Amino acid sequence: MQNLDLGGFFKDENKYNSFSQYDIKKKIAKLTNTDISTLTDLKIEYENESGKGTVKSTKYSDVLTFTFSNTLDLGKFKKENNAVSQLKVKKKQKF
């Protein structure tokens, strides 16, 4: 149950331009099918476009490791009239 890929997390400009540790724990709880209250000792290392970390759980004997990105790669879009449709961008987003 190690090496979880959490997908994308983005800085909240309203909260000192930082990542929400609660949202990260909530995503880990969902992926591991555990209650968020069982997750302890969250440690995160931030990079420019990504992050990684560890968290302990009372449900597992091993420390869980995880990674996430703070960029969103939506692939390539076909331009129409030298622009990209916002509707097409929204359809590709997976939040």
**What pLDDT digit, counting tens, does each position of 22-74 carry?**
889 999 999 999 999 999 999 998 887 788 999 999 988 889 999 988 765 55
- SS3 of residue 89 by DSSP: helix
Rg (CA), the chain: 16
- Nearest-angstrom CA–CA distance, 44 and 92: 28
CA-CA-CA-CA torsion sign (65, 73, 26, 28):
negative
Query: pTM higher than 0.75 for the full model?
Result: no
Query: Helix count (H) and strand count (E) of the chain?
Result: 2, 4
Whole-number pLDDT of residue 84:
65
